[in-house]
């Protein structure tokens, strides 16, 4: 980590945007580390939650970029353990969600996030079409998007035998209502 | 008694046994489930990736449909659906302006009055009936596993103690079971994003929970969340491989466990759909008490 002076601060820092969009004030974090101590995936992150927050507090373009490019922000499980234990009630999962979206917007998302992004697209595509999630349709779409064609193949056939996979979608009756809702809120991106 | 019912997508397919056992147990408890007409997906964790407004409207449509059907309380057995719907319900209840805006997007009026309940919150009301409808012979040591979404975030869940919840333990005890004391009650199983995309992380996190339950000599893990159940049950081969141990402890939905205690036919409870075979040993002898915790 290179040293940084307070003169390098930007006015459009991530910390500012985060406060504006999510209402979370990162300056309230005093680095007790309780969030990382309880985080189930802290050990798998190159920088755990408290370090992400610390880097953002500097409001430096370099550090902001380092956060956006990290895999850490994609590993957050939204289990909310950090938030429920934070003495300053900082909503870290909400910050992580924002950071992911910002990383995608800026084209800086970590390569390993591709699967997660494909999953969301496949999921929403299914809901936009049927109004409900059609699990097998969504999974097939996800596999095509990611190229993981043979992952969990044996599991899939076992689930089918157990009657846990519906081959045909059972959507809502009023498909037009759901389509309209998607259109009004996303401009029909999905 | 009657209550609105929101099965959610999982309960119509991969968690069908949860739906089957919820219906069977509610029938015994004389609780009529009124399915919300034409309910749609709650959007889970994907909708707000596209837009916050989409995420809120998908959930609000269900609340508006419930309100139109005259339902002021709805049961959402899936912990994720519960969390999503409850967060919308809480957000809209405090904000008439937002209520109006979302009503316009959804194309239906919503006044903000529908309350969303999880499975445990509903069962908690029926503890006496549960005790009365069981012969107390289900004296099995069970590990009650709550996961994340039933208790966190606290503002959304508004339910039980966040670090050491008790509701499920008390419900199971009312049915004669012997809940074990353990510290993995609210540990995360790893669902989040990683169920499909990062299975090795799931095996690690879920493995800790399975191993802890086994160490406490529980004969079953009991859960009220389809994601938790799926991870602990369906991902068992990966878990066992990761731990280099052969754990055979079954993972039951709370309604499957209660159904067994009530003497409901296992087929009606969908027990044949669980991936880890549900084979419970002989119940504990009658003299053993709940507080007998020889591990500590």
What is the per-residue pLDDT for A5? 53
> Does residue A1 surpass a pLDDT of 50?
no
- What is the average per-residue pLDDT within B16-36? 98
- What gap in Å lies between CA B34 and CA B254, rounded to an integer? 20
Among A80, A91, A159, beta carbon nearest to B14: A159
Query: Which residue, among B216, B234, B120, has the nearest Cα to B172 in the 3D structure?
Result: B120
Pairwise CB contact (< 8 Å): A165 & B13: yes
Among B50, B61, B162, beta carbon nearest to A189: B50
Pairwise CB contact (< 8 Å): B50 & A162: no
What is the per-residue pLDDT for B289? 57
Cβ contacts of B194 on chain A, cutoff 8 Å:
75, 77
Give me A84's structure tokens.
């429920």
| pLDDT per position as a tens digit, B264-282 | 999 999 999 999 999 999 9
pLDDT band at A6 (very low <50, low <70, confident <90, very high): low
Instruction: Write the burial class of residue A118 (CB in 10 Å: 0-12 exposed, 13-18 middle, 19+ buried).
Output: buried
> Does residue B19 surpass a pLDDT of 70?
yes
Task: Confirm or reject contact between B101 and chain A (CB < 8 A).
Answer: no
Give percent above pLDDT 70 in chain A. 93
B48: number of Cβ within 10 Å: 18
In the stretch 153-172 of chain A, residues with CB closer than 8 A to chain B read 155, 158-159, 162-166, 170, 172
Number of Cβ pairs < 8 A linking chain A and chain B: 139
C-beta separation of B194 from B231 below 8 A: no
Q: What residue of A is the nearest CA neighbor of B14?
A: A164
ipTM of the complex: 0.89
C-beta separation of B74 from B66 below 8 A: yes
Lowest model confidence (mean pLDDT) among A19-23, A27-31, A140-144: A140-144
Q: Taking all residues of chain A, what is their mean pLDDT, rounded to a whole number?
A: 89
Among A77, A115, A164, beta carbon nearest to B13: A164
Mutate to test the interface with A, among B6, B35, B51, B103 (most CBs of A within 10 A): B51
Q: What residue of A is the nearest CA neighbor of B154?
A: A84
C-beta separation of A54 from A33 below 8 A: no
What is the per-residue pLDDT for B136? 95
**Cα B173 to chain center, whole Å?**
17
For each of the domains in chain A, give its residue range(s) and CATH number, in order of start. Answer: 6-109 (1.10.1060.10), 112-186 (no CATH)
**C-alpha distance across the termini of chain A, in Å:** 40
| pLDDT per position as a tens digit, B171-190 | 999 999 999 999 999 999 99
List, as one string, the DSSP characters of B119-155.
HHHHHHTTHHHHHHHS-S----EEEEE-TTTTT-SHH
C-beta separation of B10 from A159 below 8 A: no
Mutate to test the interface with B, among A116, A122, A175 (most CBs of B within 10 A): A116
- What is the average per-residue pLDDT within B245-268? 98
- What is the average per-residue pLDDT within B92-117? 94
> Does residue A109 surpass a pLDDT of 70?
yes
Tell me the CA distances in angstroms from B238 to A35, A152, A158, B109, one per residue in order: 28, 11, 15, 47
- What is the average per-residue pLDDT within A69-82? 94
> Does residue B156 surpass a pLDDT of 80?
yes
Q: In what order do the strands lie in the sheet with B115-117?
A: B32-35, B2-5, B73-75, B115-117
Q: What residue of B is the nearest CA neighbor of A162?
A: B273
In the stretch 240-279 of chain B, residues with CB closer than 8 A to chain A read 272-273, 275
Q: Taking all residues of chain B, what is their mean pLDDT, rounded to a whole number?
A: 93
- What is the average per-residue pLDDT within A151-161? 81
- What gap in Å lies between CA A66 and CA A68, rounded to an integer? 6
Tell me the CA distances in angstroms from B178 to B102, B119, B287, one per residue in order: 46, 20, 11
Query: Which residue, among A106, A178, A101, A75, has the nearest Cα to B50 in the 3D structure?
Result: A101
C-beta separation of B182 from B220 below 8 A: no
- What gap in Å lies between CA B288 and CA B271, rounded to an integer? 27
For each of the domains in chain B, give its residue range(s) and CATH number, in order of start. Answer: 2-119 (1.20.1050.140), 134-273 (3.40.50.11810)
Stated as kind and residue range, the H or E segment containing A145 is helix A135-146
Q: What residue of A is the nearest CA neighbor of B209?
A: A40
- Dihedral of the alpha carbons of A12, A73, A41, A121, in degrees to the nearest 10: 150
Most confident range (mean pLDDT) of A128-142, B38-52, B71-85 is B71-85
What is the per-residue pLDDT for B195? 45
Mutate to test the interface with B, among A22, A41, A129 (most CBs of B within 10 A): A41
> Does residue B288 surpass a pLDDT of 60?
no
pLDDT band at A181 (very low <50, low <70, confident <90, very high): very high
pLDDT band at A188 (very low <50, low <70, confident <90, very high): low
Q: Which residues pair with B75 in a beta bridge?
A: B5, B117
Distance from CA of B136 to the nearest CA of A (A): 30
Pairwise CB contact (< 8 Å): A79 & B273: no
Among B54, B196, B272, beta carbon nearest to A185: B54
What is the per-residue pLDDT for B290? 59
Q: CB-based contacts of A72: which residues, under 8 Å, 6+ apart? A: A45, A46, A47, A48, A49, A52
Cβ contacts of A77 on chain B, cutoff 8 Å:
148, 188, 190-194
What is the per-residue pLDDT for A166? 81
Give percent above pLDDT 90 in chain B. 88
What is the per-residue pLDDT for A106? 96
- What gap in Å lies between CA B219 and CA B100, rounded to an integer? 50
In the stretch 20-79 of chain B, residues with CB closer than 8 A to chain A read 38-41, 43-51, 53-54, 57-58, 61
Task: Confirm or reject contact between A20 and chain B (CB < 8 A).
Answer: no
- What gap in Å lies between CA B142 and CA B219, rounded to an integer? 6
| φ and ψ at residue A15, rounded to 5 degrees | -55, -40
What is the per-residue pLDDT for A104? 92
What is the per-residue pLDDT for A159? 86
Q: CB-based contacts of B277: which residues, under 8 Å, 6+ apart? A: B248, B250
In the stretch 178-217 of chain B, residues with CB closer than 8 A to chain A read 186-188, 190-194, 196-198, 201, 205
Distance from CA of B69 to the nearest CA of A (A): 16
| φ and ψ at residue A14, rounded to 5 degrees | -60, -40
Between A120 and B62, the higher pLDDT residue: B62
> Does residue B198 surpass a pLDDT of 90?
no
What is the per-residue pLDDT for A10? 66
**Cα B216 to chain center, whole Å?**
22
What is the per-residue pLDDT for B197? 61
Pairwise CB contact (< 8 Å): A177 & B49: no
> Does residue A163 surpass a pLDDT of 70?
yes
**Cα B248 to chain center, whole Å?**
21
| pLDDT per position as a tens digit, A42-66 | 999 999 999 999 999 999 999 999 9
Distance from CA of A6 to the nearest CA of B (A): 33
């Amino acid at each position: 980590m290179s040293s940084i002076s307070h003169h390098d601060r930007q006015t459009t820092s991530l910390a500012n945007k985060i406060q504006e969009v999510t209402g979370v004030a990162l300056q309230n974090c005093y680095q007790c580390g309780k969030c990382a101590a309880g985080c189930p995936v802290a050990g798998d992150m190159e920088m755990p939650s408290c370090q992400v927050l610390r880097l953002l507090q500097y409001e430096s373009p370099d550090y902001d970029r380092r956060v956006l490019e990290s895999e850490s922000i994609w590993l957050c499980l939204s289990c909310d353990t950090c938030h429920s234990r934070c003495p300053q009630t900082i909503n870290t999962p909400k910050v992580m969600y924002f950071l992911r979206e910002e990383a995608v917007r800026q084209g800086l998302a970590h390569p390993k996030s591709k699967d997660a992004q494909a999953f969301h697209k496949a999921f929403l595509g299914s809901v936009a079409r049927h109004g409900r999630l059609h699990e097998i349709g969504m999974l097939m779409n996800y596999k095509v998007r990611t190229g993981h064609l043979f992952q969990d193949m044996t599991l899939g056939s076992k689930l089918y035998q157990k009657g846990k996979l519906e081959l045909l979608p059972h959507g809502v009756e009023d498909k037009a209502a759901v389509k309209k809702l998607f259109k009004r809120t996303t401009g029909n991106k999905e | 008694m009657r209550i609105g019912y929101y099965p959610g997508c999982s309960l119509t397919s991969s968690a069908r046994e949860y739906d089957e056992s919820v219906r069977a147990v509610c029938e015994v408890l004389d609780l009529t489930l009124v399915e919300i007409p034409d309910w749609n997906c709650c959007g889970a964790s994907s909708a707000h990736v596209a837009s916050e407004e989409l995420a809120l409207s998908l959930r609000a449509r269900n609340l508006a449909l419930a309100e139109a059907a005259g339902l002021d309380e709805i049961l959402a057995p899936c912990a994720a659906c519960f969390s999503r719907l409850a967060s919308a319900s809480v957000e809209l209840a405090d904000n008439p302006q937002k209520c109006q805006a979302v009503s316009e997007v959804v194309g239906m009026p919503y006044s903000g009055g529908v309350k969303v309940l999880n499975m445990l919150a509903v069962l908690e009301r029926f503890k006496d009936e549960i005790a009365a409808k069981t012969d107390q012979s289900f004296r099995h040591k069970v590990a009650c596993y709550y996961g994340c979404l039933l208790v966190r975030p606290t503002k959304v869940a508004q339910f039980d103690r966040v670090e050491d919840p008790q509701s499920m333990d008390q419900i199971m005890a009312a049915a004669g079971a012997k809940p074990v004391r353990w510290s993995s009650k609210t540990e995360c199983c790893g669902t989040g994003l990683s169920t499909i995309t990062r299975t090795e992380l799931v095996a690690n996190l879920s493995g800790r929970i399975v191993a802890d339950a086994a160490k406490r000599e529980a004969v079953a893990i009991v859960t009220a969340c389809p994601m938790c159940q799926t991870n602990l049950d369906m991902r068992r081969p990966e878990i066992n491989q990761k731990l280099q141990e052969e754990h055979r402890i079954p993972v039951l939905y709370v309604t499957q466990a209660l159904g067994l205690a009530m003497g409901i036919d296992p087929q009606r409870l969908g027990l044949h759909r669980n991936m880890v075979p549900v084979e419970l040993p002989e119940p504990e002898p009658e003299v053993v008490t709940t507080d007998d915790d020889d591990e500590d």
